[in-house]
């Protein structure tokens, strides 16, 4: 919701401060517009889209674009964050749907691949990350992977403890699922040898088979089409970088 407020003068506020705040908001709006133009240009020209093509899509000259982004790497980070937002807007509600395990997995995968299918060049652009001007100091794709894996680890751990199972495997299991989906995504984008629906069906079968196998080894049987009384939600939080530098 857009909220409009009139400026209120106070002892700590000057007309210069108000002008700076208006300029800051204007720049934020323009950056957002240019990000959306970049996503459209990616759809038309592919992941190797140039700044000239992006500027043309935005209806401005390239110097105007560079007033808001230092270089293509700076634009990459902004586009990456927008891509993450688009993904999570679809993925999180699917992950948190109060339904049985099997359709919950399928809905989540379909939500993820619907974004990839609709914006394949955006995904390629985000995973490319190579710009001669300067190294990119933010790997948005890796950050998203770690965030999703951490959320899944918490989710799996909660369920495993509820079933009186050792939850120590939750973290590697979560990272394994994320790695499986990402590697499959890259293969699918390159090959396009099956429909999105078939891909989602196969991955759902594979992931559920692994879950069911682990449960059965612990003496637990779960009907994949029956909602669980214990329904845990997924919460996404940024994962702190413990390497002492930016993710790479």
How many CB atoms within 10 Å of residue 132? 8
Q: Where in the chain is the domain with CATH 1.10.10?
A: 16-69
Query: CATH number of the domain at 16-69, please?
Result: 1.10.10
| DSSP result, 147-208 | HHHHHHHHHHHHHHHHTT--GGGHHHHHHHHHHHHHHHHHHHHHH--S-HHHHHHHHHHHHH
In this structure, the number of other CB atoms found within 10 A of the CB of residue 25 comes to 10
pLDDT score recorded for residue 1: 30
| pLDDT beyond 90 at 32 | yes
DSSP code, position 62: H
How far apart CA 113 and CA 185 sit, in angstroms, is: 8
DSSP 12: T
Q: How confident is the model at residue 233 (pLDDT cuts 50, 70, 90)?
A: low
Angle at 217 between CA 211 and CA 223, to 5 degrees: 50
All CATH 1.10.357 domain ranges of the chain, comma separated, are: 81-248
- This model's pTM is above 0.75: yes
- pLDDT, averaged across the chain: 85
Q: Tens digits of per-residue pLDDT, 46-76?
A: 999 999 999 999 999 999 999 999 888 889 9
Q: Which residue has the higher pLDDT, 111 or 238?
A: 111
Query: What dihedral angle (degrees, nearest 10) is formed by the CA atoms of 173, 175, 178, 180?
Result: -70
Considering the four listed CATH numbers 2.70.98, 1.10.150, 2.60.40, 1.10.357, the one that applies to the domain covering 81-248 is 1.10.357
> pLDDT value at position 25?
85
Distance CA 153, CA 175 (A): 8
The 10s digit of each residue's pLDDT in 193-231 is: 999 999 999 999 999 999 999 999 999 999 999 988 776
């Amino acid at each position: 919701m857009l909220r409009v407020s009139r400026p209120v003068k106070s002892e700590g506020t000057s007309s210069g401060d108000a002008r700076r705040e208006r300029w800051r908001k204007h720049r934020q709006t323009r950056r957002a517009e240019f990000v959306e133009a970049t996503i459209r240009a990616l759809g038309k020209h592919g992941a190797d889209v140039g700044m000239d093509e992006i500027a043309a899509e935005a209806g401005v000259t390239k110097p105007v674009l560079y007033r808001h982004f230092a270089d293509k790497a700076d634009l990459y980070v902004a586009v990456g964050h927008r891509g993450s937002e688009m993904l999570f807007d679809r993925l999180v509600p699917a992950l948190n749907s109060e339904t049985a395990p099997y359709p919950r997995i399928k809905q989540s995968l379909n939500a993820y691949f619907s974004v990839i299918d609709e914006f394949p060049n955006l995904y390629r652009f985000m995973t490319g990350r190579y710009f001669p001007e300067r190294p990119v100091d933010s790997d948005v794709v890796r950050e998203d992977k770690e965030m999703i894996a951490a959320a899944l680890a918490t989710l799996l751990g909660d369920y495993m403890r509820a079933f009186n199972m050792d939850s120590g495997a939750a973290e590697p299991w979560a990272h394994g699922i994320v790695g499986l989906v990402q590697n499959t995504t890259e293969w699918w984008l390159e090959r396009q040898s099956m429909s999105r629906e078939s891909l989602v069906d196969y991955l759902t079968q594979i992931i559920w088979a692994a879950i069911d196998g682990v449960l059965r080894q612990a003496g637990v049987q779960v009907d994949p089409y029956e909602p669980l009384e214990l329904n845990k939600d997924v919460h996404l939080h940024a994962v702190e970088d413990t390497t002492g530098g930016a993710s790479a």
